[in-house]
Amino acid sequence: MSIDKKIADDLVANDISFVTTVPCKQLAGVIEEIEHRDEIFHIPSNKEDEGMGLCAGAWMGGKRPAIIMQNTAIGVTINTLATLIQYYRMPLPMLISYRGELREPVACQVEMAVHTKALLAQMNIPTYHFHKQSDVEELDAILKYTFMCNKPVAILTDANFWGGYGDQ
């Protein structure tokens, strides 16, 4: 089974039915997979903080949300994470393309990569790093954990996990 299908299956199995996305090349496959799932309402966002607002509303409306975005968005969403998602204590799985790691071809991506884990740690956000394809086996447990504790939870997925950025 492809990683993209496995991720979508885990989202559906955990009753996640509202997914917002801001694209990244590494995420293209999983975004396409989600777009085709009948169980998931896919709503593209123009910016990641907007997406988190949509997710907050969806959750208060009774749906389980998730956001799919690039790690550069951590720089965009610090205020939203602190004053909306964490302050009102809302669950939010964040599937994050971890650009700027090993096998990255674009130098500028490294500039946010070096801050990504430090920022997430500063925010007390539980953070998981998928580096090998087999790491995806933990996704189901991470999603259950997220909705157990009502917190934003980060799942960083690097180029090695996706099979190499330049190799796609």
Instruction: Specify the 3-state DSSP secondary structure of 89.
Output: coil
Q: What CA–CA distance (Å, rounded) separates 84 from 73?
A: 16
Give the one residue of 4, 12, 25, 56 binding another protein; rule: CB under 8 A: 56
Stretch that binds another protein, among 87-95, 96-104, 106-114, 117-125 (CB under 8 A): 87-95
Q: How far is the CB of 49 from another protein (least distance, A)?
A: 7
Q: Which of these segments, 39-47, 98-106, 118-126, 159-167, binds another protein (CB under 8 A)?
A: 39-47
Q: Which is nearer to another protein, 60 or 114 (CB)?
A: 60
Single residue of 63, 117, 129, 131 touching another protein by CB under 8 A: 63
Report the residue number, 27 or 85, with the smaller CB distance to another protein: 85
* Cβ pair 90, 84 in contact under 8 A: yes
CA dist., res. 106 & res. 77, Å (int): 22
Q: Which of 52, 142, 153, 159 binds another protein (CB under 8 A)?
A: 52
Contact with another protein (CB under 8 A) among 12, 54, 76, 123? 54
**In the chain, where do the E strands start and end?**
16-21, 41-44, 64-70, 92-98, 127-130, 152-158
Considering the rule CB under 8 A, would residue 47 count as an interface residue with another protein?
yes
**Residue among 42, 37, 27 nearest 73 (CA):** 27
Does 45 sit near another protein (CB under 8 A)?
Answer: yes
Write the Ramachandran bin of 75: left for phi over 0, alpha for psi from -120 to 50, otherwise beta: alpha
Chain center to CA of 148? 17
Cα 96 to Cα 155: distance, rounded to the nearest angstrom: 6
Q: 121 to 150, contacts with another protein by CB under 8 A?
A: none
Residue 90 near another protein by CB under 8 A: yes
Kindly list the residues in this chain that would bind another protein in the complex (CB under 8 A).
Answer: 18, 41, 43-47, 49-63, 65, 79-80, 82-84, 87-90
